[in-house]
Chains A and B, each alone.
Chain A
């Protein structure tokens, strides 16, 4: 229970359904701030108090578990390392994989609990053969199956998402919270990354990685400007490049490539962003891995749209071809494969193939 409205309603629904529910708030920061500022961050002392208050109202026991050390190692350090390597990580996904459905789940199981129930918007379907499938939430606008796609079948077997199977909008969840007497009904949603309380990701990365000035170049290797750290850029980024010289054709330029090795950011026209295929690593399958190529819809980032792909496991990797070229595919992000609403599997994007290969500076 984060102290937000979703997990509070999820807990209330689970308790109402007759489960023996215990509320747990995760302390993920060694030095939590006292108060929450606006919609930013979470796990402040105030959030912990809000969660405790919600548990009181629901009538369930409540505890705070300190997973700060695990979170620092598995999520925060991974986030920093990924940026340092020129990739764009998704820390929420990592947190689900390593903390909520690993460290937390393992401890809960050891203590005699059966499942971890969260306020995520996704649906677990129990098949007749006893296997479990992860599906998109009924409300596509709220669907969070993308950040849960890393869960394997064992993790799914111990997951409960009471908010996933209802057609609901956030407004209705808040109305339900209000009806249940939960004060968090009117609390602002959390955005951004919970461990970057002020929302300044660049400042956070600069503090952890230091500033390292380097060149911003075009596809020919011509120097167009400077940057203070490659981690400040994401593939497909257009804003904030601060290039003094306009492109010869006057068209906007986008980040095409980030190379921490030679500390260079390459920019170019939008068409150079077109990606026709990719290779992803660490595939996780919900169920058995497919034995050959298959056609799926894929999601390439949180809140991203769907795109049609052909995908095939090759050795330890996943090979993906796009039916139509897509833009703004960033290594480090997850690709989640769907069959209709069902999550088939997910993997971490390692390399992409461009329709028009950018000329990398030497």
Chain B
């Protein structure tokens, strides 16, 4: 079995499993005042501190959520509502067309139901937003911008955005900027305090932690309107009993991801480069998606379009050979749609249907790459016979 879909989810680290299971049998609600509650609270706060170190943030800037999607929604809807409440002119949302659906659908919902006008900043053929485009868009009328949200690195094609420059520009105009860093965490250096971002999304299960836990890093001066109302557990921004075992597991995984980041990026990056060469050797007309310069893309990401192939067919054929990857695009009722990311980079609709994303992780070895190298050529040949239905 060659698991090449770590960007979808990656196996939990043994250290995270241990930290999490240690908490599963312990009683105590972190909001309770008795000894058991204090014990649970201590675990939560130590986890918060540990993650804060890993992400260059203050502990008070970490808001635990139910995952990346919730963090994105809280940042985008919450900041939109609070910014508009402070000044009703602020209804413009600036984003990119290559965002994850958790961002795209949230801004789309604001446009449909909350009077937002969404402006998609142009991206180049690598899927990258230019700082000049953001400056121009804000400068056109700084008073009506509610927020900016641009991802740190793309989940499909792996392109790294110039987030630090973008955040600096947003800050110049006093506009809050959010970045979805779900894919970047563990692969790129994230120093939240240094970036000037208002908010940043990270997720547990993408870095070797458990599912169902994430965090929104939120600068202290921002108070987004909550999505969930209740006990007010997390800064009155996010209610709900704290999931102590998941938080403990996430914190350990996050700490290790940050500690091992450089080494991981170097090793997995070399493996990825081998994978890219192997695919290009087996299928000379395969089109590498995203930035060909390794410095401009996530070290664990490889993305290809295979002309004349249906991504679905390739996935089926590789799956039958024990190679697990993704078409990279979202599904509607189980039906793969041409990737909006690949379309946004200017690819033809046919090419956008024939994409595969291979993503490596902490369990990846050369054996996985070799298995793909053997299987990809015949699979592409066969998928071409099946054609584009």
Contacts and interface: CB of A to CB of B under 8 A. Distances in A.
A107 B389 contact: yes
A238 B377 CA distance: 62
A31 to B, nearest CB: 9
Interface string A84-110: 000000000000000000010011001
Interface in A4-51: 22, 25, 27, 32, 45, 48
A106 B317 CA distance: 15
A112 B334 CA distance: 22
A107 B317 CA distance: 12
Contacts of A25: 334
Contacts of B319: 61
Contact of B333 (A64, A67, A107, A111): A64
Given A22-B316, A61-B320, A48 B333 contact: yes
B15 to A, nearest CB: 32
Nearest to A107: B386
B386 A64 contact: no
A66 interface: yes
B316 A111 contact: yes
Contact of A110 (B334, B335, B336, B386): B386
Contacts of A110: 382, 385-387
A65 B389 contact: yes
Contacts of A103: 389
B320 A27 contact: no
B313 interface: yes
Contacts of B312: 63, 65-66
B317 A111 contact: yes
Contact of A67 (B317, B320, B385, B389): B389
A111 B336 contact: no
Contacts of A64: 331, 333-335
Contacts of A187: none
Nearest to A69: B389
Contacts of B316: 22, 61, 63, 111
Consensus secondary structure, chain B interface: helix
B151 interface: no
B383 interface: yes
A110 B320 CA distance: 15
Given A61-B319, A63-B316, A45 B333 contact: yes
Given A63-B316, A65-B312, A48 B334 contact: yes
B334 A27 contact: yes
A70 interface: yes
Interface residues of A, number: 21
A27 to B, nearest CB: 5
A32 B333 CA distance: 8
B382 A70 contact: no
Contact of A70 (B317, B335, B387, B389): B389
Interface in A234-283: none
Contacts of A68: 335
A107 B335 CA distance: 16
A52 interface: yes
A64 B331 CA distance: 10
B313 A52 contact: no
A27 B333 contact: yes
Interface centre among A25, A45, A64, A106 (most CB of B within 10 A): A64
Interface centre among B317, B333, B335, B383 (most CB of A within 10 A): B333
Contacts of B331: 64
A98 to B, nearest CB: 13
A112 B317 CA distance: 9
A155 B179 CA distance: 54
Contacts of B334: 25, 27, 45, 48, 52, 63-64
Given A45-B333, A63-B316, A112 B389 contact: no
Nearest to B378: A112
A27 B336 CA distance: 11
Contacts of A70: 389
Interface string A201-218: 000000000000000000
Interface centre among A22, A70, A111 (most CB of B within 10 A): A111
Interface string B55-77: 00000000000000000000000
Contacts of B320: 22, 61
Interface string B312-337: 11001101100000000001011110
Nearest to A45: B333
A27 B335 contact: yes
Nearest to A62: B334
A89 B96 CA distance: 48
Contacts of A63: 312, 316, 334
Contacts of B386: 106-107, 110-111
Interface centre among B317, B319, B331, B335 (most CB of A within 10 A): B335
Interface string B17-34: 000000000000000000
A66 B331 CA distance: 11
Contacts of B317: 111-112
A111 B335 contact: no
A45 B387 CA distance: 26
Given A61-B320, A65-B389, A112 B335 contact: no
Contacts of A66: 312, 335-336, 389
A107 B383 CA distance: 9
A48 B331 CA distance: 13
9 contacts: A45-B334, A48-B333, A64-B335, A103-B389, A107-B387, A110-B385, A111-B383, A112-B317, A112-B382
Interface of A: 22, 25, 27, 32, 45, 48, 52, 61, 63-68, 70, 103, 106-107, 110-112
Interface of B: 312-313, 316-317, 319-320, 331, 333-336, 382-383, 385-387, 389
Given A22-B316, A64-B335, A111-B386, 20 more contacts: A27-B333, A27-B335, A48-B333, A52-B334, A61-B319, A63-B316, A63-B334, A64-B331, A65-B312, A65-B335, A66-B335, A66-B336, A66-B389, A107-B313, A110-B382, A110-B385, A111-B316, A111-B382, A111-B385, A112-B382
Question: Closest 5 CB pairs between A and B?
Answer: A64-B334, A110-B386, A110-B385, A66-B335, A27-B335
